[in-house]
Amino acid sequence: MHKITNADFTNYQYSEIHVPGGKTVTVNGESFTTVSDITLPIGVNTSGSTSGDVYLIGKKKPEAFRNANGTYPIR
């Protein structure tokens, strides 16, 4: 989980967002205000149109595990 301001789109793929309750945020260019905490199953692949107290939930991209020579440590 990364806050939108600390997102690492090079090494991570985000598939959900979490927004604390009572916050106004912009996600993928759309603004809304939450009443309670929410987790939405939507992807975000850039911070350009997303702002506020948004936390991104995802996993490390497979290519981020590659060794310097292009091989993977897990076989």
| pLDDT (tens digit per residue) in 28-53 | 888 999 999 999 998 888 777 888 89
In terms of DSSP bridges, do strands 38-40 and 12-19 run parallel, antiparallel, or are they unpaired? antiparallel
Provide the token pair at 49: 């149109």
Stretch 57-72: mean pLDDT, rounded? 77
Distances (CA, A) of 19 to 1, 12, 35, 61: 12, 19, 10, 23
The overall average pLDDT reported for the chain is: 86
* Torsion angles phi and psi, residue 10, rounded to 5: -75, -45
**pLDDT value at position 75?**
55
Confidence at residue 48, expressed as pLDDT on a 0 to 100 scale: 78
Asked if residues 42 and 27 have their Cβ atoms less than 8 Å apart, the reply is yes
Q: What is the mean pLDDT of residues 21-31?
A: 91
Summarize the confidence of residues 8-17 as an average pLDDT. 90
List the chain domain ranges.
2-65
